[in-house]
Amino acid sequence: MSSGGLQLENISRRLGARSLLHEISLEVPAGECLALLGPSGCGKTTTLRVVAGLDPVSSGRIWLQGRDITRLDPGRRQVGMVFQSYALYPHLSVEGNLELGLEIRRVTAAERHRRISTILELLQLVELRHRRPAQLSGGQRQRVALARALLRQPDIVLLDEPMSNLDAQLRDNLRPELRRLLCGGRHPVLYVTHDQQEAMGIADRIAVMSNGFIQQLGTARDLYDQPVNRFVAEFLGRPAINLLLPQQGHQLGLRPEHIRSVNTGGLEAKLTGREWLGNQQLLNLETKRGQLKMLTSADWTPPTELRVSWDQGRELWFEEQSGERVK
């Protein structure tokens, strides 16, 4: 196996009769940030916990920086993790939270102090060092959790929905900062989220998961423009892709921004509703091939009866039964 980064080799995890992860294989080189994206229950958090060693695997192997860590105790994996709840020790101060792990690893007091000071400064936590977690805001807690994860100079950083407890505006502000702190270092990063915007904003590549399978792995652009199947096409993009009623075993997928109004040809459509989105508007259309959502400029006043077509070459065809995309 090659050295450096993280490799998952056919990882499966079963719990009784249920299969939580199915033959997951992926590779994250050092410095790259890979997002695991999917709906809840898709196996993304399980993948993270398997890498951390918190959950055992049923089969397959995990390599980290050239070591086989498949059955290594979590405490010996050199893994830094930010939990969804941040999991800060409520009875310890910020400093105490950072110090505990180093103390357990028998790092000398002087070295502990040096490392903690550095990380506190990096994350602008110096003034908060004596506070308890309960006295911190959500964003501050997240930074402490991040500091704790980075402090031990991990071989990989794992983040489990680190933004889900923060409000929307803070999330928008934190995304670039998180990317600056995490990515491009000597370690790979695995980032679990169900929010596609977050995944696109932070990660270099995205793995879309569902039902314990990786559906597709690639850059955000690849996934959006060239989804391998209907699930990926539907999961990415807001407002979601239009799926027309199937014909002869095939189904046409059209993204709302690719639909145009035309004078002749195309489909007859009836306007049934409008949603104003500020700079754009979303039209709800009724056609004989099903409901359509169409994204247009905000200042156009559409007639109640119109004809629509789509940008040639942007349409996506799927097999009706399997959902696979027809190339």
Partner 1 sequence: MNLRRPIIVAGLLLWSLLPLIWQLQTSFRTPDALVGGSLTSGWTLENYRTVLQGSPSFWRYMVNSALVGTATTGLTLSLAVPAAYGLRQQAATLKRGLLLLLVAAAVFPYVLLFLALLELARQLGWGNQLLALAIPYSGLSLPLAVLLLQAGIADLPNEIEDAARLEGLNLWQRLHRIVLPLLAPTLSSTAILVFLFSWNEYPIALTWISRSELLTLPTAMARIAGSSIYAVPYGAFAAATVLGSLPLLLLVLLFQRAIVSGLTQGAVKG
Partner 2 sequence: MNFISHFQGQPFATNKVESYSRGKSLSLLLLAPALALLAIVFVWPLLRYGWLSFHADSVITGLVAIPNGGANWIRLLSDGRFWQDALQTLRFAGVSVGLELVLGLALALALHQRGPGRGVLRVLCLLPWALPTTVMALGWRWIFNDPHGPINALLLQLGLPSQGFLSTPSTTWLVSVLADVWKTTPFVALLLLAGLQSIPTDLEEAMRLEGASPWQRLRRLTLPLLIPYLGLCCLFRVAQAMGVFDLIQVLTDGGPAGSTESLALYAYLNAMRFLDFGYSASVMLGMFLLLLVLSALVLVVQRRFQQQQELT
Sign of the torsion formed by the C-alpha atoms of 17, 19, 20 and 23: positive
Amino acid at 52: A
User: Which stretches does DSSP call E strand in 84-126?
Assistant: none
Interacting span for partner 2 (CB under 8 A) from 52-60, 189-197, 228-236, 243-251: 52-60
Nearer to partner 1, 13 or 255 (CB): 13
Percentages helix, strand, coil for the chain, rounded to the nearest 5?
30, 35, 35
**Helices (H) then strands (E): counts for the chain:** 8, 19
Q: Binding to partner 1 by residue 87, rule CB under 8 A?
A: yes
SS3 324: strand
Sheet with strand 250-254: strands edge to edge: 242-243, 250-254, 316-319, 325-326
Nearer to partner 2, 53 or 253 (CB): 53
Strand partners, 7: 27, 63
Q: Which of 13, 77, 112, 115 binds partner 1 (CB under 8 A)?
A: 77
Residue with tokens 């980064």: 5
Choose the contact partner of 104 out of partner 2, partner 1, none; CB within 5 to 8 A by kind. partner 1
Number of residues that bind partner 1 (CB under 8 A): 25
The entry of partner 2, partner 1, none near residue 85 (CB within 5 to 8 angstroms by kind) is partner 1
Give the shortest CB-9-to-partner 2 separation in angstroms.
11
Which residue in 7, 70, 216, 281 binds partner 2 (CB under 8 A)? 70
Residue 211 as a binder of partner 1 (CB under 8 A): the answer is no
Residues in touch with partner 1 (CB under 8 A):
49, 52-54, 74-77, 79-81, 83-85, 87-91, 100-101, 104-105, 148, 152
